[in-house]
Amino acid sequence: MTTLPPVDDLLSGAHVVSLPMRVRFRGVDVREALLIEGPSGWGEFSPFVEYADAESARWLAAGIEAAYAVWPAPVRTAVSVNATVPAVGPDRVPEVLARFDGCTTAKVKVAEKGQSLDDDVDRVAAVRSAMGAGAHVRIDANGGWDVATATEALRRLAAYHLEYAEQPCATVEELVELRTALARNGIDVPIAADESIRKAEDPVRVARLGAADVVVVKVAPLGGVAAALEVVEACGLPAVVSSALDTSVGIAAGVALAAALPSLDHACGLGTVGLFERDVSATPWRPAGGLLTVGRAVPDPATLEALAAPADRQRWWRDRLVRCHAVLAAGSPR
């Protein structure tokens, strides 16, 4: 890990922002983030508010790496990204897709609480209709199904020629059982693991037990670009780099990871800045022609001021940074 800077240095360059969402996403209407300015540029610390300090400390490690270290050298100058479709009604699908310039892959959220499988099917059907037969369509259940429900859901959704299903079930053991059930029933949908990688004590266990065909990796939850590269190498499976609903600062780190992977066969889930009503950068990290280029995001001072979180949230995030810094100082947060 990057040498741990003194906590006062991190706090002195910290800005806490609140970014309203265009559409409710992952249960979030307003995304909060703490941005850190360091000698290498800007880093982001934005674990979701419900995460405990031990897990959140990995996100701080990633932010420190971005602000204080040098990312691994890229082997490509740009990466292709997918459109992201929240759990909206089918009538809103064209509006959402219009925000993702040139993307030929879409990730569709399914298994939303309060919605039905019929809702999921209608949404995926609308995406397939809007994008055409040549596009790639993948779904993300965020571990929301049990094995029986996932089997039935993928039986129905396979009609729309899914690229893969991301984290259909919550546990590694369930993913193994699901892959067996799909094969037994002749359902051809590859499985990708996300939470089973980024929230696991042992992220390589997915590959060791044969629980997935693809691994989804996110810079912040894995502790930084260098740490995520090590996870991909250890898993030995095709990788997709995805966003953790980051600002442009965090997206730039995701692009740095995707650009450094030895091989990259799938579009990455890094085109999510368009889900915000406003971003911290004057030139938000949004795809052009379905691509994001390698570089560093620089927040705009006036925008940081305009998006500054309320005083109580400023204190909450700064206190959280201090606690997570202590976790890192005490040893590995994983």
Q: Could you list the pLDDT tens digit for every one of the 334 residues in the chain?
A: 579 999 999 999 899 999 999 888 778 899 999 999 999 999 999 999 999 999 999 999 999 999 999 999 999 999 999 999 999 999 999 999 998 889 999 999 999 999 999 999 999 999 999 999 999 999 999 999 999 999 999 999 999 999 999 999 999 999 999 999 999 999 999 999 998 888 777 889 999 999 999 999 999 999 999 999 999 999 999 999 999 999 999 999 999 999 999 999 999 999 999 889 999 998 898 899 999 999 999 999 999 999 999 999 999 999 999 999 999 999 855 5
* Tokens encoding 281: 């950068």
The predicted pLDDT at position 26 comes to: 75
Q: Is 199 a residue of the active site? A: no
The predicted pLDDT at position 1 comes to: 57
Task: Please report the sign of the dihedral spanned by the C-alpha atoms of residue 154, residue 157, residue 161, residue 165.
Answer: negative
* CA distances to 8, 226, 289 from 80, in Å: 38, 21, 9
Residues 6+ apart with CB under 8 A from 231: 197, 203, 204, 215, 217, 222
The predicted pLDDT at position 332 comes to: 57
Q: One of 107, 113, 199, 218 is an active-site residue; which one?
A: 218
All structural domains of the chain: 7-70+301-330 (3.30.390.10), 78-293 (3.20.20.120)
The SS3 assignment for 43 reads strand
pTM: 0.92
Please indicate if the annotation marks 120 as binding a ligand.
Answer: no
Q: One of 107, 109, 113, 199 is an active-site residue; which one?
A: 109
Please indicate if the annotation marks 166 as binding a ligand.
Answer: yes
Q: Is 113 a residue of the active site? A: no
The predicted pLDDT at position 52 comes to: 97
What is the rounded radius of gyration, in angstroms, for the C-alpha atoms of the chain? 19
d(CA 331, CA 333): 6
Please indicate if the annotation marks 37 as binding a ligand.
Answer: no
The SS3 assignment for 221 reads helix
